[in-house]
Structure 1
């Protein structure tokens, strides 16, 4: 038996590579929680999760004070059993954002450890459905940018061979959003996908209104149009428009994804490993979506999600938002607009210990 002998937790702050503003907030910093597991047979694994500016220390506290003591001495191999064991230790706070983020950092480390033990990459362990997937870009479409810059960003993405670009929406006037999107569509032509993201800014009525202005522009999807708790509103919107509704980055449990799928309230799901509680539940969500013939395009964390999105049959895109370059020695491999999952044991992220120490805050 290979037992967990040591668990180290670090909090690392990373500044965004570019100014990022959407309809609801600014991306101030990425609080990155890293968990290092060491086992009795001399192996180790590293996992992580993140916040965009608040709550990082609470995640660290939950891991160090509650999860780590419950995991020390446990056999590191049965990942599913350990994920359930973490639920049993946190019944009073499950399901919740902080708990999911804590689970994710630990669960990702367990999967990394599993791959290092077997010699398999995460892509192989999780299914290996596609050798690579198309990439779409988000970095050029932030809401604070003038329309000229948004157009230039989309043109750069197209010139780089990417399959699409995401444009943030949520300007005070629907006409202003439509003008920005029309300018992008005119610049990139019909063969390039244009996605829109409202970051939960609208009511159902307003989302239905704005979706009608998107339809003539052949928008690939309308992401987070409403607050994530508004299941009925998403259901109404999905029934009213031909633009696929994309949801998932702000859903924190497998069961909540099930609610959306069963209600016909989503056309594309966007699970985030950190927010749904780890790789273990992420795969459950992806396969549940497959049962409903729904595509998966995960949110953020491109260095990790490239392996998972390519592993499942219904994975369609990887979102390009660079964020780990400052603290890693590896990078996402993109050729001809497609990302290739790393073919190395574990999750495939080569962390730089020196730069991690430079950015460490707790």
Structure 2
């Protein structure tokens, strides 16, 4: 039986290639914690998570001081047991973003290690339900972008074969309407438009805006309310014909269960980093199946393409490129569809020289095999 004998932890801070703004914030930095798990048989698994500008150091510190030391000597195939042990070890800080993002970096590394050792790609190891999925783009729909540029980007991605584009909302209501009208008029009826409010509205405002947006036949109305307001999402879902999408700001399987049981959403956008890794991500995706609810994961397209294709509820992949400077090849895209890698592991070809060069403070922590949390 193989054992974990060393864990390495580092963080890279990536700056977005384009300006990214929404109704409540700007995406100014992608702090990216990395975990590399070494087994005593020579196999190595790499995992990661992310923030959008704050909290990265707290995630790294939680992993280095409290989580990584508990991996040493464990069987790397006991992924479920390890996830539950680490979750309950940090129970005083869960459920929440910092703990979930730390667990995700470890859990994705364990799944990478599992797939490498089995010589199977993640999308087959996790289920193999679909060969590919359609893409929609968010990268040209940020809130600061003028209406004319929104139209240009939507037409460009449509020409590439993409099935849709997401437009951020949160400007004055009539201005949002004018922007959506411009895009719909340009792309026609055979192209999906999604809108995303990033939790900016109160219930009354969300209901009002939903009625204004309904004539544009939108694919969904994303994060209209704060994620903790499940009751508000029920009221909104009952008041509009628009599908309501939630999930990127939900951090536990149980919260997804409550949303689904109460009819508070029509789509789930579970994020592998924010839910705590591949292990709970798959549980959410399979939980959605008996409710006949689609899974359209948030961000992290290079990892989500394998997961969404692994499950029957996967419907869309969100196109926001963010790893080009850290990888030697990108996600496979053909005719507007995303295809998971057939290589063993997560399907991400890391450029470890680039990762090493971009380490925050030029630092890597090593735990186990003679290393220490302060190495």
TM-score bracket, normalised by the shorter chain, equals over 0.9
Secondary structure of 1:273 counterpart: coil
Aligned to 1:242: 241
Q: How does 1:216-295 map to 2 (within 5 A)?
A: 216-295=215-294
Q: Give deviations 1:116-172, integer Å, cap 9, x for gaps.
A: 00011100011111100000000110000111011111111111110000000000x
Q: Counterparts of 2:194 and 2:96 in 1: how far apart (Å)?
A: 28
Equivalent positions of 1:198-213 (< 5 A) are 198-213=197-212
1:59 partner SS: helix
Deviations 1:146-204 (A, max 9, x none): 11011111111111110000000000x21100110010000000000000000000001
Offset, 1:88: 2.3
Q: CA deviation at 1:350?
A: 1.1
Q: Distance in 2 between matches of 1:87 and 1:194?
A: 38
Q: Does 1:149 align with 2:149?
A: yes
Specify the SS of the correspondent of 1:339.
Answer: strand
Task: Map Cα deviations across residues 15-70 of structure 1 (whole Å, 9 max, x no partner).
Answer: 10211010000001100000000011110000000000000000000001010111
Q: 1:330 Cα deviation (Å)?
A: 2.0
Counterpart secondary structure, 2:100: helix
Q: Secondary structure at the match of 2:50?
A: strand
Q: Which runs of 5+ in 2 are unaligned?
A: 364-375
Equivalent residue, structure 1, for 2:330: 331
1:30 aligns with 2:30: yes
Q: Determine if the alignment matches structure 1 residue 12 to structure 2 residue 12.
A: yes
Counterpart in the other structure of 1:345: 344
Whole-angstrom CA distance in 2 between matches of 1:157 and 1:196? 16
2:173 counterpart residue number: 174
1:41-56 aligned at under 5 Å gives the runs 41-56=41-56
For residue 126 of structure 2, what is the aligned residue in structure 1?
126
Distance in 1, matches of 2:112 and 2:249, equals 24
Verify the 8 A CA contact 1:70 1:89 in the aligned structure 2.
Answer: no
Q: Residues 302-317 of structure 1 correspond to what in structure 2 (within 5 A)?
A: 302-317=301-316
Verify the 8 A CA contact 1:77 1:114 in the aligned structure 2.
yes
d(CA) in 1 for partners of 2:265 and 2:154?
A: 26
Distance in 2 separating the partners of 1:279 and 1:330: 22
Deviations 1:206-240 (A, max 9, x none): 00000011111101000000011100000100111
What is the DSSP-based 3-state SS (H/G/I as helix, E as strand, rest coil) of the residue aligned with 1:42? coil
| 1:105 alignment partner in structure 2 | 105
Find the counterpart in structure 1 of residue 194 from structure 2. Answer: 195
Matched residue of 2:12: which SS?
Answer: strand
What is the alpha-carbon distance in structure 2 between the residues aligned to residue 94 and residue 237 of structure 1? 28
The answer to whether 1:80 aligns with 2:84 is no
What do residues 290-314 of structure 1 show as CA deviations (whole Å, max 9, x unaligned)? Answer: 1111000000000000001111101
In the other structure, the counterpart of 2:356 is 357
State the partner residue of 1:70: 70
**d(CA) in 1 for partners of 2:185, 2:88:** 53
How far apart are 1:358 and its partner, in Å?
2.2
- Counterpart Cα distance in 1 of 2:125 and 2:24: 37
Structure 1 gaps of 5+ residues are: none
Distance in 1 separating the partners of 2:285 and 2:300: 16
Partner of 2:366: none
1:85 Cα offset (Å): 1.1
| Aligned equivalents of 1:340, 1:150: Cα separation in 2 | 26
- Which whole-Å CA distance do the structure 2 matches of 1:139 and 1:43 have between them? 36
For the 8 Å contact 1:238–1:245, the answer to whether it is kept is: yes
Structure-1 residue corresponding to 2:164: 164
SS of residue in 1 equivalent to 2:274: helix
Distance 1:258 1:88 in 2: 20
Residue 319 of structure 2 corresponds to 320
